[in-house]
Amino acid sequence: MKIRIISELDDKEMLEAISNILREMYELDVDVEKVEKILDYRCFNSRRNQYDAWKLIQMYSGERGEGEYLLLIVKEDIYASGFNYIFGLAWQGVAVISTYRLRQEFYGLEPDRKIFIERSMKEAVHEVGHLHNLTHCKDKRCVMAFSSWIGDTDYKSWEMCQNCRSKLRVMQRSRF
């Protein structure tokens, strides 16, 4: 298995940080592909002024190669039914994260590269965890904890708790 990151952002520092943490956490090869546009008008909901993450994932499910997970990184706001917004979503080998609400500027604060990169790493690790069949964790410090707002993302670590690490090891061993 490998992870192919497809990104709308041409942010080498962030993409390198995400690639490195995914390699370390999941022990998989990671390739990065920069594209001009991932989002498609067919996913756009004009009433919400957001993109439907489920539709996006469904569109890209056919783009996945054999033995490959896809991680899409978009800069626009995304949502899923039942939520005002989401930071990311994963389903059947394809995950998406949005950097739209990960930037300090969204909250009226001064830009902070360190915080932006940390948040992006946490969301990438979290969504790829779902691709490995991990569920949300009750340990609020675990990267697999659900984030209902940016404060949850800031509070949690980019690492998994012992319980989630154990589950991941079992799943990784069953792959081989």
Sheet with 88-91: list strands edge to edge.
29-34, 2-7, 68-74, 94-98, 88-91
- Burial (CB count within 10 angstroms: exposed 0-12, middle 13-18, buried 19+), residue 54: middle
68 is catalytic: no
Report how far apart, in Å, the C-alpha atoms of 51 and of each of 16, 122, 139 are: 26, 21, 30
Residue in 27, 76, 127, 159 annotated catalytic: 127
- Tokens encoding 66: 């054999």
Cα–Cα–Cα angle for 165, 135, 39, rounded to 5 degrees: 110
Which residues participate in catalysis according to the annotation? 127
